[in-house]
Amino acid sequence: MRGAVPRLSLALLAAESGARLCAIIHYFVRGQLGWFGLTIACLVPGYAAQLLSILWFRADGHPPGCWLLALHLLQLGLWKRYWDVLRAEAGGGAGEVLAQLGDVCVLRLLEALLQTLPHLLLQTYVVVAVDPAGFIPGVSAGLSLLSLAWALVSYSHFTCLLRPGHLSPPAAVTLCLLLWRTGMLGTRVLALVLFARLYSFWVFAVAGVHWLLMSFWLVAQQTDIVAQPCRWRLFNCLLGAVYIFCYINVRPGPSKARVAVFYAVSTWDILCCTWM
């Protein structure tokens, strides 16, 4: 299963990128310049992952040349990293493969949260509120959802490999995890989009309250994954925004209690949306 993860990740990344390009062309050809511009704008946050990838290349002793910078400028830096993982699997050691796989899994998760998630929200809103019969936006939204869910699954897969013995979860476990992530993300995104369609900007109030609750909760847990105080606060605020949509475990040890709190707040959030 370990060797299949980078291949599936690369295939989904290619499918998602192709569908996004089709959506951009679709809006431009139909003269929907507003949706065209917003879809283009969703690409911009993805450069954070590309910049971090360049910095990690430099930290690993591989100063990026012009061609590598060009790849990252075209947002193909992660494609290069996946290709490096596949080449390392063919002739490298297990430690090298694990290190490269970890880097690309973390970077892909960051890119998915910053770029794929906004694109998913936008295309879902278009399908629900603007053009219910839109095939291309629907396909783009579906592939974005699957790609985002797989980014979360591949990150979980990597954390499993970090355990003693480098145990890789069975394919059935990975499939169940993918279904869970897809269902969780899909319902959250659909609920927010439907709420936005009915109550417009009130959705930001609901999401803001959820973000504040999650951020304060993370601060109360004293998450020490980031050492510097200012970066620690920023990390908790950013992770609180992620918790609007999904749960990511960033602390070692049992997580049942934390997951229960997350789902309790999420359920309260959905009930508030329903009552309004």
* Alpha-carbon distances of 93 from 7, 32, 60, 187, rounded to whole Å: 18, 50, 17, 41
Contacts of 96 (CB under 8 A, 6+ apart): 88
Q: What are 1-6's contacts with CB under 8 Å, separation 24+?
A: 1/157, 1/168, 1/169, 1/170, 1/171, 1/174, 2/101, 2/157, 2/161, 2/168, 3/89, 4/171, 5/101, 5/154, 5/157, 6/82, 6/85, 6/86, 6/89, 6/101, 6/104
**Residue that the structure tokens 């369609």 belong to:** 197
Where on the phi/psi map is residue 92: left (φ > 0), alpha (ψ -120 to 50), or beta? beta
Delimit the domains of the chain by residue range.
4-200, 201-276
pLDDT of residue 203: 83
Give the predicted TM-score (pTM) of the model: 0.90
More confident residue, 208 or 53: 53
The model's pLDDT over 29-86, given as tens digits with 9 standing for 90+, comes to 999 999 999 999 999 999 999 999 999 999 888 888 899 999 999 999 999 999 988 8
The model's pLDDT over 111-158, given as tens digits with 9 standing for 90+, comes to 999 999 999 999 999 999 898 888 999 999 999 999 999 999 998 888
Determine the angle formed by the axes of helices 77-91 and 66-73, rounding to 10 degrees: 120
End-to-end CA separation in angstroms for the chain: 45
pLDDT surpassing 60 at residue 274: no
For the residues 189-204, what does the mean pLDDT come to? 86
pLDDT of residue 4: 80
Tokens found for residue 164: 């003693």
The model's pLDDT over 147-156, given as tens digits with 9 standing for 90+, comes to 999 999 998 8
Confidence of residue 101 (pLDDT cuts 50, 70, 90): confident
Other CB atoms within a 10 A radius of the CB of residue 18 amount to 13
Alpha-carbon span 251 to 258, nearest angstrom: 10
Percent of the chain with pLDDT over 70: 88
For the residues 17-36, what does the mean pLDDT come to? 95
Cβ atoms of residues 157 and 5 within 8 Å: yes
Contacts of 120 (CB under 8 A, 6+ apart): 141, 144, 145, 148, 185, 189
Alpha-carbon span 186 to 194, nearest angstrom: 12
pLDDT surpassing 70 at residue 176: yes
pLDDT of residue 87: 85
